[in-house]
Amino acid sequence: MPLQGPCIAADIVVTHMASRLMTVRSATPVAPAVTVRIDQHDTILVGEVLACREEGPGEYSLLIEMDESLSGLHSLRKLVSALLGEAREGEPRHPLKLQPVRRRKLQDRSPEGA
């Protein structure tokens, strides 16, 4: 979850979301001002922890302000794989076969007698 320091994977449950603010429950406490990344299905959310409050033994409520979101990752991954000819089994490959580019040596174009 935090992007700085050691990466800690933690399961969270979103309890409330409004505009750019998200409240989540977690078994792991996270200090305020820590940047976090939340992977959810086909989306990555990046935000900053504004507050962390202990709700009970081993249960914390985090208030996170979302800064960025990136969605449609599955489609992007399929496009990149297809363009690179790395389509996974069951996925269509790009219809064009890319040919390697042959490079020619440039001839010496310096003026004669120089």
CB atoms within 10 A of CB 60: 18
Going from N- to C-terminal start, the domains of the chain cover 1-93
Residue type, 45: L
Tokens of 111: 């003026």
In sequence order, what are the beta bridge partners of 51? 63
Per-residue confidence in pLDDT tens, the chain, 114 aa: 555 566 778 889 999 999 999 999 999 999 999 999 888 888 888 999 999 999 999 999 999 999 998 888 778 777 777 777 655 566 555 454 545 555 555 555 555 555
Dihedral angle over CA of 63, 66, 71, 76, nearest 10? -120
Alpha helices per DSSP H over 48-89: 73-83
**Angle in degrees, CA 24, 29, 35, rounded to 5:** 75
The answer to pTM > 0.85 is: no
